[in-house]
Structure 1
Amino acid sequence: MKKELYHVLGVMSGTSLDGMDLAEVSFFLKKDGTWAYTLGEAETVPYPEGWKKRLQKAVAYSEARLLQLNEDYTRYLSEVINRFIKKHDISGLDAVCSHGHTILHQPEQGLTLQIGNLPKLAQELQQTVVCDFRVQDVALGGQGAPLVPVGDRLLFSEYDYCLNLGGFANVSCERDKERAAYDICPVNIVLNRYAEMEGQAYDAGGMLAASGTLDRELLDTLNALEYYKRSAPKSLGIEWVRQHIFPVLAASEATPRTILRTMTEHIAMQLAAQFSEKSTVLITGGGAYNQFLIERLLSHAALNVKIPENTLVEFKEAIIFGLLGVLRLREDINCLASVTGAAKDHSSGIIFK
């Protein structure tokens, strides 16, 4: 039986490997069919160095090693979630709605893999779990990404665009009464790598980039990449970055700060090209804190940018995966063909009791 009020835990791990986001959320169905939410406890649990290295290297693992990694990560994920629930004395959950962690994403080959989505998770948590949201969409011929636009439509309809700046930048908006969304370009998955070469986990405020030199030849090469000429639906994965971005940056022989400066300009230019003049843009994800990146974006486009309170910046995707889980429990549509290119709208995700 469908309800109008749900209490769930949304769990998200992004490609930038900043950590695991956990958000306790209550959702309430409004009369107009959209949803309201109240955020309860929320926390980002950083990955231990050992886990971070395993997840970084996993794209090259054999099938046997991936199977073992999936088992290990599911166990680790259950430990993190159980600690969070116990720490905050959370009870009465309708479900834990977990994205897992993306290891492989090659939708053109019918392949996407998010680890941590095994039945063992529900057993270890003693909770209903909704997970593995992408596989069904890829099976239906879609990109399996981005999935957040359904939540953008149902929770943040007052904005012209919703822009997330995480490992990758993705955007969603309404076009001709349909939701359109796609990945724009890599962001923190590249910036963090070069910040680490400067002894920092990330480029706080974009200060490292701001101190670097713009390499215009490198910038032109990046902006000429074929992906940017393709129309949506389209999505990006770590494999694409390894094939098309990292080799170009390495071949430039530029310093890390020059690469950070040039990559930031590249990102700003690719972002600016997506928006209509003077539109309202809600910006979330870790990149929203990169003041230099936002400044460069606004130098290329006249926009009304809204950077919300820190909790929404940091936990928007965890909140929305909580909503995707609620929609799946209700068997309501949570995956849009207009966004992913799948054969039809559908209700995606596996439910483990």
Structure 2
Amino acid sequence: MIKTHKILGLMSGTSLDGLDLAYCLIQEKDNRYTFEIKAVDSISYTNEMQLRLKDAILLPSDALLKFHNSYGTWLGEQAKKFIEANALEVDYIASHGHTTHHQPENGLTFQIGSGQHLANASGQKVICDFRTNDVALGGQGAPLVPIGDRLFFGTYDFCLNLGGISNVSFEHRGQRIAYDIGLANMILNHITRKNGLEYDKGGKLAKSGKIIPEMLSRLNALEFYRLPFPKSIGYEWFIKEVVPIVETFPHRMEDLLCTSVHHICDQVAMQVKQNSKKEGSTLFITGGGALNDYLIETLREKLGNTAELVVPSKQLIEFKEALVFALMGALRAEQKINVLSSVTGAKTDSSSGVIFLPS
């Protein structure tokens, strides 16, 4: 008996590019899961929305909650347009929301995008708030994508996501292990946006630059890289620890980008080498960074024979996270485990996410 879940996954990441929507058919048979991505869209944020999301961490509590509600309504409106334009039949919308606060050491994480407002605006059942329960159980509330790595992409030795932040997942002694490695597009986009560019397409600017040795040394020396996993970082860490380093160097944008790419690849290569059990491991790469040709070229050089890089289709690169949140929604609807304690450090695995019905 094959069970099919028709779910619209919504994802907004730390790189602040925009909202990804992926309508997915998640099929389950004998506890094995397969997927089809049937329709996708990506809605770029306006400059105003980008700034509001970036600065949401600075808002007083009442203003933050007001934004939480209005952003939820906006998500619902985008979802409704997408559903109507593609004539889709939807069981649930599974929404990640947008992370404004992530402080698991203080027992809190917050993703704006009110589920009730989203449900009301879209007219659909909604599953969201996937992180809070794990943090309440003593976990990091992140990363969440490894459940999808295990169920959908388990044939690869490593799954690497290069979003705003780089994170990796792999099997270790029968358990899925995952953690944030460190920086990815967050630092690159910070540098380009200060120079009036949205991003460095294909890494062409970075490739034309030169490494700034002192900047590379200071980035590689950040304390986070020495911490044991499970571990995760958020925008707060970036603002506090990374931005002051970047702004110390009044160099050309190309040199700042080149140095940052080498830093990203140094940290990723170090983690893959430390955890690879064999030469020629397979490293499956998704997230916006997989479209940065110079970054991929640099990573390939630093890894050498340790791992073979596998870069999938552009659609899967861009919409994997939205796909995985669709899967998490399907698992939550079935009350099955969708957050792994081996990944987050929580007391127990959990079926996380809150269900909202439209009214």
Shorter-chain TM-score tier: over 0.9
* Residue in 1 that maps onto 2:296: 294
Q: Residue 332 in 1 paired to residue 331 in 2?
A: no
* Residue in 2 that maps onto 1:344: 348
Q: Residue 142 in 1 paired to residue 139 in 2?
A: yes
- Alignment length, in residue pairs? 350
* Secondary structure, aligned partner of 1:324: helix
Q: Residue 13 in 1 paired to residue 12 in 2?
A: yes
Q: CA deviation at 1:49?
A: 1.6
Q: CA deviation at 1:352?
A: 0.9
Question: Counterpart of 1:294 in structure 2: which amino acid?
Answer: I
* Secondary structure, aligned partner of 2:271: coil
* Residue in 2 that maps onto 1:180: 177
Question: Counterpart of 1:342 in structure 2: which amino acid?
Answer: A
Distance in 1 of aligned mates of 2:293 and 2:313? 15
Counterparts of 1:6-155 in structure 2, within 5 Å, are 6-31=5-30, 33-91=31-89, 93-155=90-152
CA contact (8 A) 2:102 2:108 kept: yes
Question: Counterpart of 1:13 in structure 2: which amino acid?
Answer: S
User: CA 1:124 to 1:3, structure 2 compared with 1: closer, same or farther past 3 Å?
Assistant: farther
CA RMSD of aligned residues (A): 1.2
**TM norm structure 1:** 0.97
* Mean CA deviation greater in 39-48 or 250-259: 250-259
CA contact (8 A) 1:105 1:111 kept: yes
Aligned residue among 252, 258, 262 for 2:259: 262
Structure 1 residues not aligned, in runs of 5+: none
Distance in 1 of aligned mates of 2:195 and 2:109? 33
Question: Counterpart of 1:289 in structure 2: which amino acid?
Answer: L
Distance in 2 of aligned mates of 1:45 and 1:196? 18
Q: CA deviation at 1:3?
A: 7.4
CA contact (8 A) 1:182 1:339 kept: yes
Structure 2 residues not aligned, in runs of 5+: none
* Residue in 1 that maps onto 2:228: 231
* Residue in 1 that maps onto 2:284: 282
**TM norm structure 2:** 0.95
* Mean CA deviation greater in 190-199 or 12-21: 190-199
Q: CA deviation at 1:54?
A: 0.5
Distance in 2 of aligned mates of 1:240 and 1:258? 23
* Secondary structure, aligned partner of 2:115: coil
* Residue in 2 that maps onto 1:192: 189
* Secondary structure, aligned partner of 1:213: coil
Question: Counterpart of 1:172 in structure 2: which amino acid?
Answer: S
Q: CA deviation at 1:125?
A: 1.6
* Residue in 2 that maps onto 1:165: 162
Distance in 1 of aligned mates of 2:138 and 2:44? 34
Distance in 2 of aligned mates of 1:298 and 1:90? 40
* Secondary structure, aligned partner of 2:83: helix
Q: CA deviation at 1:254?
A: 2.6
CA contact (8 A) 1:195 1:208 kept: no
Distance in 2 of aligned mates of 1:51 and 1:3? 41
Identical columns (%): 45
Deviations 1:80-106 (A, max 9, x none): 111111111112x11000000110101
